[in-house]
Structure 1
Amino acid sequence: MSNEIKRYMDDPMVEIPGGEIELRDDRIKSKWKAEIRPFLLARYPVTRGQYDAITNKSPYSYDGDLKPVVNISWNDAIAFCNLLSEKAGLKACYSINNEGNIICDWESDGYRLPSEAEWQYACKAGTTGYRYGEINKIAWYNENSGGKIHEVGRKEPNAWGLYDMLGNVWEWCFDLYDEQVYGSYRIFRGGSWAEEARGCGASCRRRSHPTFGIDDLGFRLARSI
């Protein structure tokens, strides 16, 4: 096991307790509730240093290990999860079915993306508002970021010890957005360094094609327990 893999295994993820969360889609004026089983979530988004160490690929102009990795598509994030699981001796979560679709084995112990319900539940950390704190204290967004990405963990965490859940970079979730309308488009959450304040909230939902990558979109790792 490489030193980088060992650091992943030794750095404890946050255990998120089970519960329930209400989600909504303002586009179609719909609300629904989701049950959340206990799971693990990384304290920070995946960093450039971590991504490069595991994949030996650098999809960015290099300017520091501790900034979130960006220009990562949903497909890239899925591949990273399986690669890290393999290197760590865990059971991969993702596989391709006969129709060519990526499916998730939620019982696997490997690394995966959070579902959007898990992401929102963890972001709120027991709070009831749009944000878990005052925006300038918890998030890098267009009014305080200076037009650039920042190192992870420089703002205040939420009540469960998760950093950068809002602002800095958007984070891919596993879910399809609306397969009937948008086909294979996947969800990302959380806002970014380039986003207006109103887009940096626990219930804000965005979507794009699974091959899409941009300079303010990354991802965070989860695991089932």
Structure 2
Amino acid sequence: MKHDFKFVTTSFFIFFFTLFILLALFHQPVFAQSKTYTNKLGMRFVLISKGSFLMGSPVFEPGRQWNEKRHKVLISKDFYMGETEVTQGQWEKLVGFNPSSFSKLGKSFPIDTVSWNDCMEFIRVLNKWEATDKYRLPTEAEWEYACRAGSTSAFSNGPITTFSCNEPEPAIVNMAWYCYNSGLASPARDFKPHPVKTKAPNKWGLYDMHGNVQEWVLDSCKWRDILRARVGAVTTTYKDNIVDPLNETGKHKIIRGGGWYQTGKYQRSAYRSYYKPKTRRNSLGFRIVRMR
């Protein structure tokens, strides 16, 4: 009986140990895959974990605008952020035509010359194609949270030191297409966007959050503060300890991220501007998020 009991005990140990190993092996790739998501269009998304951060800029940051009040924001849910800006190839594959002002440059270039309304239609079609409702534009807060990637400096990789197009900005010269490197020479003054993923990503694996094309976000805004007699993106969301802010009032839509023709001042993580939702410019594109 003692021998039988020992045999049974040993067998149970081997069984559960083997089961544990199999579960661990099975679970590992699932966990790894959950950090990214690739959809039917070939768009790759990076998982951005929920958390809090300081949105806006400190008063001493060079290039700071009056409407960049620094405040604490809580992002309460994880979300997937587009690894890159939507490309011309992705747009054309889904929609069937290419509105880009640089359509001859190639399908790996970011889409441009699209309005906020156009972006919303693209997302509507993508949701319908995949039989889901999880795709949308990022909110302004989600965009800055993802852009900063845990940083509190002007750029996700360091401070701002110059507004010049004639000298490099150390923090972004290797991670952003902007006026210094997007066409200042060869040939001279031939400014233009560049293929996505050709510069270094931020610490969270997102490309071109600084530079290349400016990006539409979900938030609306007013364009001036009458009481302060100042012009700029005006929202009611810049206040401390706000959770998942989204400003829905105003006839303009906010844009984030600097463009390929702009100086470092406009590439800062906190920089915000606006256009009417029907506006199309050759520096305007977008990226999308996918909700979990």
Report Cα offsets for 1:5-31 as digits up to 9, x if no partner.
6243xx541000111133338435644
The aligned counterpart of 1:88 is: 130
| Selected match of 1:18 from 50, 53, 65 | 50
Task: State the shift of 1:32 in Å.
Answer: 3.4
1:21/1:117 contact within 8 Å kept: no
The aligned counterpart of 1:220 is: 287
1:5/1:87 contact within 8 Å kept: no
After superposition, the Cα gap between the structure-2 partners of 1:178 and 1:150, relative to the gap in structure 1 and judged at 3 Å, is: same
SS class of match (2:174): helix
Percent identity between the aligned chains?
36
Which residues of 2 match residues 173-192 of structure 1 at below 5 A?
Answer: 173-178=217-222, 183-192=250-259
| Selected match of 1:203 from 267, 270, 289 | 270
Structure 2 gaps of 5+ residues are: 1-37, 58-64, 158-170, 184-190, 226-233, 235-249
Structure 1 gaps of 5+ residues are: 92-109
Which residues of 2 match residues 27-106 of structure 1 at below 5 A?
Answer: 27-28=66-67, 30-36=69-75, 37-61=77-101, 62-63=103-104, 64-91=106-133
After superposition, the Cα gap between the structure-2 partners of 1:29 and 1:197, relative to the gap in structure 1 and judged at 3 Å, is: closer
After superposition, the Cα gap between the structure-2 partners of 1:178 and 1:24, relative to the gap in structure 1 and judged at 3 Å, is: farther
Q: CA RMSD in A?
A: 2.0
SS class of match (2:119): helix
The aligned counterpart of 2:27 is: none
| Selected match of 2:155 from 124, 131, 142 | 131
The aligned counterpart of 2:230 is: none
Number of residue pairs aligned between Structure 1 and Structure 2: 202
TM-score, length of structure 2 as denominator length: 0.65
Distance 2:82 2:143 in 1: 11
Q: Which amino acid aligns with 2:66?
A: R
Distance 2:152 2:72 in 1: 15
After superposition, the Cα gap between the structure-2 partners of 1:149 and 1:179, relative to the gap in structure 1 and judged at 3 Å, is: closer
TM-score, length of structure 1 as denominator length: 0.84
2:112/2:282 contact within 8 Å kept: yes
The aligned counterpart of 1:163 is: 207
Q: Which amino acid aligns with 2:283?
A: D
2:53/2:73 contact within 8 Å kept: yes
SS class of match (1:6): coil
Q: Which amino acid aligns with 2:217?
A: C
After superposition, the Cα gap between the structure-2 partners of 1:28 and 1:219, relative to the gap in structure 1 and judged at 3 Å, is: closer
Distance 1:119 1:217 in 2: 15
After superposition, the Cα gap between the structure-2 partners of 1:5 and 1:161, relative to the gap in structure 1 and judged at 3 Å, is: closer
Distance 1:48 1:208 in 2: 22
Q: Which amino acid aligns with 1:132?
A: S
Q: Which amino acid aligns with 1:44?
A: T
2:68/2:271 contact within 8 Å kept: no
Task: State the shift of 1:35 in Å.
Answer: 1.3
| Selected match of 1:116 from 140, 154, 163 | 140
